[in-house]
Amino acid sequence: MALWRIRATVDDRPGYLSVLTASLALRGVNILTVQVHTTEVGAVDDFLVDAPEQVTEAELRAAVERGRGRDCWVARSEARGLADEPTRVLGLAGRLVRDPEAAGATLRTLLGADAVTWRPTPTAASGGVGGTTMLLTDPAGGGYELRRREPSFTPAEYARAQAVVELAATLARRDVDRVTLVLPDGAEVSVRPATVEDVPAVRELHVACSARSRQRRYLSGAADPSPARLRRLLEP
């Protein structure tokens, strides 16, 4: 048996997907995974299949077309294609957390792109998919252009890629804003912007302050500020 990836557009109507799968079954093809990408022209179905060794690419393409699939793309796959897609994406996100500068390489792996180019100036379009070209907006400025020979990009892939770019920008901002200070006694203190996750610690800080200190700070009595007010202070 051999692993193949098949991508085809199918009319988003009841029963049409079953016609395609039945046509593949007649060739002895076992569908291992399937992802459905909704588009304006129909549902783009992405299959990972296990086919008999003697079945050729042309025969798989013909089976898809007999099953009412169109714009068919077929390519051999490897065992790593068996990985669960959400698990694979989470793994790439973890890689990005460790190295925010690896956004380009992460995009290439995520989408199987042939070329990933970052441009310091915004792309001509605000972002989107145009066949085998994808434009992504970088929140930090500039943008990415992705290209691959086939298959065409889908809106679902664009959404995943844009989420990766935004995650990389968030991680880069975090690293830029984080500073380590060395005190006279050699101790190190990490300084970073506060977030709402720090509300419990900030409340403890206020509890440790005297009533007079709190009154002089807020000029509105000595009571502790409310959690809502602290959240506004930490993330206005």
Segment 205-225, tens digit of pLDDT:
988 999 888 888 888 776 788
List of the chain residues with pLDDT < 70:
81, 122-127, 222, 236
pLDDT of residue 74: 93
Q: For residues 41 and 74, state if they share a domain.
A: yes
Q: For residues 100 and 172, state if they share a domain.
A: yes
The strand ranges marked E within the chain are 2-10, 30-39, 42-51, 70-76, 115-119, 128-130, 133-137, 143-147, 179-182, 188-191
Q: For residues 92 and 134, state if they share a domain.
A: yes
CB atoms within 10 A of CB 216: 11
Q: Are 184 and 191 in contact (CB under 8 A)?
A: no
Q: For residues 89 and 73, state if they share a domain.
A: no
Q: For residues 91 and 171, state if they share a domain.
A: yes
The tally of domains found in the chain comes to: 3
Q: For residues 90 and 171, state if they share a domain.
A: yes
pLDDT of residue 85: 79
C-alpha pair distances (Å), 21 with each of 9, 69, 70, 71, 87: 13, 10, 14, 16, 25
Q: Are 145 and 123 in contact (CB under 8 A)?
A: yes
pLDDT of residue 62: 94
Q: Is 181 part of a structural domain of the chain?
A: no
pLDDT of residue 81: 66
Residue in the structure block whose two tokens are 């460790």: 98
Please write the tens of the pLDDT for every residue from 73-90: 999 988 776 777 788 888
Q: Are 139 and 153 in contact (CB under 8 A)?
A: no
* Sign of the four-CA dihedral 115, 118, 122, 127: positive
Q: For residues 172 and 200, state if they share a domain.
A: no
Both structure tokens of 199: 């509300």
Q: For residues 73 and 100, state if they share a domain.
A: no
CATH number of the domain within which 60 lies: 3.30.70.260
Instruction: State how far the Cα of 233 lies from the Cα of 229, in Å rounded to an integer.
Output: 6
Residue 207 sits at φ, ψ, to 5 deg, of: -65, -35
pLDDT of residue 195: 83
* Sign of the four-CA dihedral 65, 67, 70, 71: negative
Last residue of a domain, which of 24, 58, 82? Answer: 82
pLDDT of residue 142: 87
Q: For residues 99 and 172, state if they share a domain.
A: yes
Domain residues for 118? 85-176
Q: Is 183 part of a structural domain of the chain?
A: no
Both structure tokens of 118: 């970052």
Residue 176 sits at φ, ψ, to 5 deg, of: -65, -40
User: Looking at the whole model, is its pTM more than 0.85?
Assistant: no
Q: For residues 35 and 100, state if they share a domain.
A: no
Both structure tokens of 61: 């393409």
Residue type for position 121: T
Last residue of a domain, which of 49, 82, 115? Answer: 82
